[in-house]
Each structure stands twice: as structure tokens, then as C-alpha cells.
Amino acid sequence: MTVIVRDFRPADAEDWVRVRRAALPFLVTTPEQVVFDLATAHPDKRYRLLVAEEEGEVIGTAQAGLAYESPEPGQAFCNPYIHPERTGRGAGTLLLRTAEEYLALAGATSVYVWVLDTPGDRAFAAKHDYASSRPAHFFHLGLAGATLPPRQELPAGVELRTGADFADDPRPLFEADAETTTDEPSDTPARLSDYEEWLTETWGSPGLDHHLTSVVVADGEVAAFTAAETDGVDRYWSGMTGTRRAFRNRGLAKLAKNDSLHRARDAGFTDAYTGNDAGNGPMLAINRWFGYEICAKQVRHVRKLG
């Protein structure tokens, strides 16, 4: 049987999610989100989706693009994943090589990939000349049976709001997101500077639940937040939790996250997931405090092109 690689088509969205959920069951994604991300991607990202197909069946997927928000030019990413029941057919190699050729023509000098921390995936990365960079973890919390920390009395001058409360003017949330994203550990650090782009790609994302997104306001300013992404059914993902620099070490991130998890459970969501860089001690401590447990490990790898 012959495996081919081609560009993603909107009609592939259901199959894309089927493969991704099989390969990465701890990620929360939907067909609507996949199509939206491709349609709204900034031109400078050169975002491209690929699928590997065998006898008409989609067995693998890959996302590729430039880290255009990074201050260092030439950095790119590619994330190929194969359905666990369809490995060993060469689909991963075809996806990766197709993406690398495309990215090189787009001006990339380095390509970063996430690799699950398993013997097979590590061997795949090494075979294709990718060197390990930094580890990260996926966490899971069974919300249905979880004993969440009780809600606490709010400190003086502190309020809890939702993302929906900022529907008329979400700019304060953009400013908080931009500041905390800059401080997030990353091989390809991003700088958010375009408010209109953020409105379209982040605030307008079909996966972002404005009502479950919790925002801590201190002394009239947005101080901390946790962005809630869901599949609209039972799976919840902490897209980003951050505290602005002037408000750190006051427990406000815990406050935001606890509020969001309580409301997510009340809304019927049964499984909460999140991901953290292995070196992000403060966020790892917060997640363990809530009862999250590691469900998978992955390692960032990089290859120089040329």
C-alpha cells in the first residue's frame, strides 16, 4: 500500500481530529478549531497543514509554519503525528520531509518538533537528525471525581470575573496575555503586539470558552487569568494561566484557576488537561496542588536546516 502526503482540505477536519485524538488523547481539539486556525493564521506564519493518506484513509497529520512572533528570525515548527495503529509505514518521515522542504523555502533555518518521550518517538527524532532541547509534561485531572480546593474569601480589592465580562472591551486581557506570554519558557519566545490579530486568532477562537475563562482583577486592573479551552462536550484545557509581573507571589493564579475549574465541573466537564514546561516550577507546583497528575511526557527537539 502506498502512503502519500498532501495538503489538508476542510473535508479532512473530522479525520484530522480522529488521528490527533488517537495519537495525543490529552489534547483538546475540534474540527471547527482546525479549520479556524488555518483560515485565520497570519500570512507571516506561512501556516500549512499536511495529511498522510493510505488507500484513501488519513493516517497522519502535521502542522508546519514559521515562529513569526519570535524576535529571532528563521525559527520554524513542525508537529507530525501518526495514528498509533498506522505506524511503521513511512508516513512520519514523509510528513516531516515535506514540511522541512516547505519551511526551508519559506526562510526557516531551524525546525522545532515536539516528540513524545517514548523509545520509538525518540528514535524517530534521532534518525532524522533532531537533537533534544527541553522536556515538558501533559497533566490530567479527573474533574468528575476531583476534590478541588474550596473557594476562598477574596482578599481586599480583588474581584473574580469571567472572560465574558470583557466582551465589550477585551483589550485588558490582551495586555495581560501579551505580558505573561513574553515570560513563558520557550525555545521560540513570542511577543504579542498586534491587538487586532489577537482579537481574531485568540479571542475569536471557537475553542476559547469566555464564560469558563477566569480573570482576577486587583485594584481595578487585570492581574491574573486562566484561559479555558474546551471541546464543548466534556474536555477542558488550560490554554494559558498567567499573572502580570506587578501582581505575582500573591496566589492570584491559583485563585483564577480554582474558580475556572469549579465552574467547568459545574458545567459538566469531566476531564481537565494542561501542559507545562518541565522547568516551569511555579506552574508545576500549582497544578500538583490541584491534583493534576502527569499523563504523558514530551521533549522538544530541534534540527538546523542547510
**Degrees, nearest 5: CA angle 255-199-139:** 40
Name the residue range of residue 100's domain.
Answer: 3-108
Q: What is the pTM of this model?
A: 0.93
Asked if residue 186 and residue 69 are part of one domain, the reply reads: no
3-state secondary structure of 254: helix
Is 134 among the domain residues? no
Which of the two residues, 123 and 186, has the higher pLDDT score? 123
3-state secondary structure of 106: coil
Is 288 among the domain residues? yes
Is 256 among the domain residues? yes
Of 93, 108, 123, which one is at a domain's C-terminal end? 108
Is 251 among the domain residues? yes
Report the interhelical angle of 281-290 vs 252-266 (nearest 10°). 40
Reply yes or no on whether the pLDDT at 169 is more than 90. yes
Residues 15 and 1: their CA atoms lie apart, in Å, by 19
Confidence of residue 112 (pLDDT cuts 50, 70, 90): very high
Residue 274: what residue type? T
Asked if residue 274 and residue 168 are part of one domain, the reply reads: yes
Asked if residue 149 and residue 244 are part of one domain, the reply reads: yes
Asked if residue 152 and residue 31 are part of one domain, the reply reads: no
pLDDT of residue 184: 76
Give the residue among 176, 254, 160 at the shortest CA–CA distance from 211. 160
Asked if residue 185 and residue 255 are part of one domain, the reply reads: yes
Residues 128-153 have pLDDT tens digits of 999 998 899 999 999 998 899 999 89
51 forms beta bridges with 6, 61
Residues 263 and 162: their CA atoms lie apart, in Å, by 10
Which alpha helices (DSSP H) does 164-244 contain, by range?
A: 171-182, 195-198
Is 31 among the domain residues? yes
Number of domains in the chain: 2
Asked if residue 178 and residue 104 are part of one domain, the reply reads: no
Asked if residue 243 and residue 154 are part of one domain, the reply reads: yes
pLDDT of residue 70: 86
pLDDT of residue 189: 66
Distance between the two ends of the chain, CA-based, in angstroms? Answer: 32
Reply yes or no on whether the pLDDT at 280 is more than 90. no
**Strands laid side by side in the 3-7 sheet:** 3-7, 48-54, 57-66, 75-82, 110-116, 293-304, 131-142, 271-277, 235-243, 221-230, 214-218, 158-162
Asked if residue 153 and residue 233 are part of one domain, the reply reads: yes
Asked if residue 227 and residue 146 are part of one domain, the reply reads: yes
3-state secondary structure of 105: helix
Output the domain CATH number for residue 286: 3.40.630.30
Residues 8 and 32: their CA atoms lie apart, in Å, by 14
Please compute the mean of the pLDDT values over residues 113-127 and round it to a whole number: 95
Is 220 among the domain residues? yes
Confidence of residue 182 (pLDDT cuts 50, 70, 90): confident
Is 119 among the domain residues? no
- Is the four-CA dihedral 186, 190, 21, 257 of positive or negative sign? positive
Confidence of residue 192 (pLDDT cuts 50, 70, 90): confident
